[in-house]
Amino acid sequence: MLAANPHRKAAPDKMFVMAIRALSVLFSFLILCQSSRADNNDTGTIKLPDGSRFKTTLYRLRVIGQLKTTQKLPYYILSGFGCQECDANRSIYIHSPSNGPMKNEGEQPRFEYPGKETDYQDGSLVSQARMFFGDCLADHPNAAVWFERGLGDDKKWHEDILVLGVRRDELVKEELPADPPKLSEVQNAVRGGRCHELPGIDRPSEP
């Protein structure tokens, strides 16, 4: 019996099958790439305790933490962008899925992301903030707290403390009075594990 010739060319039908398989792999790869781009361009979702998913209105969504509730789903502390291609900065959003769908960019309340913000034209500092969440203040437990310092229209620096806490399962916004708690109280709560700080990011202001 004659031995097989190792240099013999593949039969035409075998080459055709190999070409079809290569095209199939390439087509599947292109489909996967297209699907990944579509997912990246979509608004984010939150996985709820029962395994279901809640669709937000935020692009490049990040879940920071949550504020506890008793009779409804928690208030999730989120960060993201309310628009896909715009000049907006990453912002903070706080929402409970029990309150229904999130609103669009123009209606959903958003709050400053911590860090330093500079004027987008000349690069000068215009505001800076630190943000904490948890049981950070004795008189305002289960809340998100901002220590803010900003340059006002009067060209003077002003300091404020903003608190978003949960009372009777509703989100309540407060701006603390002229004799506010000290930052040291919050830092002690962080060291005690009762409070968490969200690291800031430096960015230019929105046009």
Q: How far are the Cα atoms of 9, 17, 76 from residue 6, in angstroms, in the given order?
A: 8, 20, 66
Among candidates 69, 39, 93, 82, which has minimal Cα distance to 166?
69
Q: Give exposure, 25-43, as e/b (b: 16+ Cβ within 10 Å).
A: eeeeeeeeeeeeeeeeeeb
Position 105 scores a pLDDT of: 86
Query: Which of 5, 132, 34 is closest to 77 using CA atoms?
Result: 132
Please check the confidence at residue 207 and state whether its pLDDT lies above 50.
Answer: yes
The least confident of 30-34, 36-40, 98-102, 160-164 is 30-34
What percentage of the chain has pLDDT greater than the value 90?
72
CA 184 vs CA 102, 131, 190: distances in Å: 35, 13, 10
CA angle 143, 178, 65 (to 5 degrees): 15
At 178, the pLDDT band (50, 70, 90 cuts) reads low
What is the arithmetic mean of pLDDT over 72-97? 95
Residue 192 has pLDDT above 50, yes or no: yes
In one-letter notation, the amino acid at residue 200 is G
Question: pLDDT at position 82, please?
Answer: 94
Question: In terms of Cα–Cα distance, which of 111, 75, 106 is closest to 90?
Answer: 111
Asked whether the predicted pLDDT for residue 35 surpasses 50, the reply is no
**What per-residue confidence (pLDDT) applies to 106?**
86
In the beta sheet, which residues pair with residue 91?
Answer: 80, 112
Examine the pLDDT at 25 and tell me if it is beyond 90.
no
Task: Determine the pLDDT at residue 51.
Answer: 95
What is the pTM assigned to this prediction?
0.78
Q: What is the pLDDT of residue 113?
A: 98
